Amino acid sequence: GPKDILILAENRGVEWSNDLQWDEKMRLPVAFPTETVYGLGALALDVSATSKIFSTKGRPADNPLIVHVSSFPMLHTLLPQDYVLSDSYTALMKHFWPGALTLLFPSDPNIIPSIITANQPTVAIRMPSHLVARALIAVANAPLAAPSANSSGKPSPTRAEHVLRDLDGKVSLILDGGACGVGLESTVVDGLHSDGAIRVLRPGGITVEDIERVLHEEMSDPPEVLVHRRDYRDEAIEAAPTTPGMKYRHYSPSVPVYLLYTASSPPNGVQPLEAGAFLASLRRFGTGERPVKVGILTPSDSPLGICTLPADGIEWTRFPLGRTAEPSVTAHLLFDGLLTLERQGVDLILIEEVPEEREGLAIMNRVKKAAGECRWIQFNTTDG
């Protein structure tokens, strides 16, 4: 039918139906699970297949795609013949491949179609660890280009049902591998500059702390690790939309999202709002005929997670994101929380800040892009 869903029971591994023509299927975009988020994959070297990825997502043509491989020999078929892996890439691949790390490589225009790279001189490649993703690439016996399996601008899907709700009628096949373990997209790293530094273009599932640790363990003279927008800014990158989420709206559900800072101090000149006053102000979102429905994504032990919520005029739905000390749990649940609250019909979503450490860096990167507005909230210790 138009929306076959293969249920892949975890304990049975991948069950491949013999009547499926996989070489044919892979000319259509197929939604499949990876350890980070669900991807929308098609044969990377087939231009008409990859162009369907762009049309299915409504993705701007100037945003390049990540190519997914299932083996090192497959990786090498994509690289320029004279290309030699750097020591830092060797160390990073040894520790994080297969997994949530995407590396930029020089792109040979005779190998990689320009639709993949959006005419960049580099191509982004990763080797996923998810059993189903690896099996799919291996069965296709070819690299797959795959962005996240969402309409452009929406939160990335971490469950098959998220894909179905977003792209129903637009994809012919969704492979259901259950919830993605990491829950955030891969970390995109550029180690191709002549200064040898490792530039993190998009924070993601592999943390900056782990990248630094591995480079220090493996190398006598480890390179610097620079995080875009924190340690450096690249005007050229920011002017062109060719790097992670610089120009386009991202990760946004259809309802307003507010980012609440409850621990950080506000920028100069911004007065923090008293918690009670802010919560009361939410009633303005109501129509008067029914209570305003407010979804909150918050760690369970944070100021907002433990505060008593006023019951009159507001219907609350709390979606707990794990404890503050467990940012990997928050990462795992963030997109699911946004998409679940949206489906439950809330009028707006509040997300509370988390510390920008470990997965928290990638979490806040996504949350800042999802949020239309920010508020700084002051909790009095007497508020309870």
Binding residues for ligand TXA (CB under 6 A):
34, 36-37, 39, 63-66, 102, 104, 117, 120, 122-124, 146-148, 185-186, 188, 201-202, 242-245
Q: In this structure, are strands 373-378 and 30-32 parallel, antiparallel, or unpaired?
A: unpaired
336 or 352: CB nearest ligand TXA? 336
Q: Which amino acid is at 310?
A: P
Q: Smallest distance from the beta carbon of 147 to Mg ion, in angstroms? A: 5
Give residue number: closest CB to Mg ion. 148
Using alpha carbons, select from 173, 161, 150 the residue that is nearest to residue 340: 161
C-alpha Rg value of the chain to the nearest Å:
22
Question: According to the binding rule CB under 5 A, does residue 158 interact with Mg ion?
Answer: no
Which partner in Mg ion, ligand TXA, none is near 207 (CB below 5 to 8 A by kind)? none
Under rule CB under 5 A, how many of the chain's residues touch Mg ion? 1
Q: Smallest distance from the beta carbon of 10 to ligand TXA, in angstroms? A: 19
The strand order across the sheet containing 292-298 reads 273-274, 373-378, 257-261, 348-352, 292-298, 314-320
36 or 148: CB nearest Mg ion? 148
Q: Which residues of 249-284 are buried (b: 16+ CB within 10 A; e: fewer)?
A: ebbbbebebbbbbbeeeeeeeeebbebeebbeebee
Question: According to the binding rule CB under 5 A, does residue 243 interact with Mg ion?
Answer: no
56 or 186: CB nearest ligand TXA? 186
What is the contact mask toward Mg ion in residues 97 to 136, using x (rule: CB under 5 A)? ----------------------------------------
CB 47 within 8 A of CB 92: no
CB 255 within 8 A of CB 347: yes
In this chain, which of 148, 158, 243, 328 binds Mg ion, going by CB under 5 A?
A: 148
Instruction: Single out the segment in contact with Mg ion by CB under 5 A; choices: 85-93, 143-151, 312-320, 370-378.
Output: 143-151
Which partner in Mg ion, ligand TXA, none is near 260 (CB below 5 to 8 A by kind)? none
Instruction: Enter the DSSP assignment of 223.
Output: P
Q: In this structure, are strands 144-145 and 39-43 parallel, antiparallel, or unpaired?
A: antiparallel
Residues at the site binding Mg ion, with contacts judged by CB under 5 A? 148
